[in-house]
Amino acid sequence: MKKNIFKGAGVAIITPFTDDGINFVELGRIIDDQIAHHTDAIIITGTTGEAATMTDEEHKAAIKFAVDHVNRRIPVVAGAGSNETRYAIELAQFAESVGADGLLIVTPYYNKCTQNGLVAHYEKIADSTNLPIILYNVPSRTGVSIKVDTYARLAKHPRIVAVKEANGDLTAILRTRKACGDELAIYSGNDDQIIPILSLGGIGVISVLSNVAPQQTHDICQLYFDGKIEQAARLQIDYCDLIDALFCEVNPIPVKTAMNILGWNAGPLRMPLSPMEPANVERLKATLKAHDLI
């Protein structure tokens, strides 16, 4: 059985920006608040962190800052995916060199690839580093999905340990569990499916919700692990309106807006992401208020 990088709720953390770059002071404050509210891992430079609009230097600087600032208090997982295998390897090796605990590697996007291409891509990256790898399957963004048989092939690699599954297909997740057993851990990639995926043997979530409700997201998982399944499910259900509000426009527009509303200096979104529609801002504010977050 492979060792898990973390169990519970990992935050897909936002990146606070200034007009000129990353606001590292505010990123440090956000990380400290996450740890104080029992977030189980920091996932830096992912989709929610707007890594797609970072320069190479910013991407690497954000990873190094997160590792240094967390200072081994909880695991740090570095988003190191790319649609170019060579660049993904470069990012993976950099993350390893600065002390990251694991890697999150999204499926290649735009140019896409076949299932054989996915195996070759991931195995090449895994062979280039000693860090454990979490696959990231999010076909709504990338246009390609990892099939069950492909998971079974990839799970044989000793450093491919888990998947962040955001395909929304619980039947496919069930079949992946059957095919891979304990050789491939599963994290929910959707905040509205934490409990369903835990019930199929998942070990946690990589969460957008955790940015604004870190304690509650942690508690959904921990209550489940503690056998308090009804309480965990109730908490998941109670927060479904906030989860919906955080995804009423493309992520990370709502969550970045929410963080600014909550008083964090999250800064601007980077183009091509645009400011949230006024009606959706009001909906978001009302939902945050309903949960006593503002």
Over residues 217-259, the pLDDT tens digits come to: 999 999 999 999 999 999 999 999 999 999 999 999 999 999 9
Is 136 one of the annotated active-site residues of the chain?
yes
Q: What is the DSSP letter of 268?
A: P
Tell me the average pLDDT across 280-291.
98
Note whether 185 and 161 are within 8 A (CB): yes
Average pLDDT for residues 258-271, to the nearest whole number? Answer: 97
Task: Write the CA distances from 84 to 88, 90, 286, integer angstroms.
Answer: 6, 10, 42
User: pTM to 2 decimals?
Assistant: 0.96
- Name the domain count of the chain: 1
Query: CATH code at 136?
Result: 3.20.20.70
Catalytic residue among 60, 64, 122, 136: 136
Banded pLDDT at 105 (limits 50, 70, 90): very high
What is the pLDDT, as a whole number, of residue 117? 98
User: What domain range is 74 assigned to?
Assistant: 8-229
Q: Is residue 222 in some structural domain?
A: yes
User: Mean of the pLDDT values across residues 178-199?
Assistant: 97
| Residue 291, in any domain of the structure | no
Alpha-carbon distances, residue 66 vs 12, 33, 100, 151, 289 (angstroms): 12, 13, 9, 29, 30
Q: Is residue 125 part of a domain?
A: yes
164, 187, 224, 239: the catalytic one is 164
Q: Is residue 209 one of the residues assigned to a domain?
A: yes
Q: Give a yes or no: residue 235 inside a domain.
A: no
Asked if residue 87 is part of any domain, the answer here is yes
224 is catalytic: no
Q: What dihedral angle (degrees, nearest 10) is formed by the CA atoms of 126, 103, 107, 151?
A: 60
pLDDT at 2 over 90: no
Asked if residue 1 has pLDDT above 90, the reply is no
Conformation bin of residue 79: beta by default, left when phi > 0, alpha when psi is -120 to 50: beta
pLDDT greater than 80 at residue 178: yes
At residue 92, the pLDDT reads 98
pLDDT, averaged across the chain: 97
Residue 253 lies in a domain: no
pLDDT surpasses 90 at 260? yes
φ/ψ of residue 240, rounded to 5: -65, -30
How far apart (Å, rounded) are the C-alpha atoms in residues 74 and 281? 33
The Cα–Cα gap between 29 and 13 comes to 12
For residue 107, what are its two tokens? 């499926």
Question: What number is the average pLDDT over the span 138-142?
Answer: 94
Q: How many percent of the chain have pLDDT more than 90?
A: 99
Q: What is the pLDDT of residues 59-98, one digit of tens each?
A: 999 999 999 999 999 999 999 999 999 999 999 999 999 9
Tokens 């109730």: give the residue. Answer: 234
Q: Is residue 247 part of a domain?
A: no
Residue with tokens 């990231």: 136
Q: What percent of the chain has pLDDT over 70?
A: 100
Backbone angles phi, psi at 170, to 5 degrees: -65, -30
Give SS3 for 163: strand
Cis amide leading into 252 (omega within 30): yes
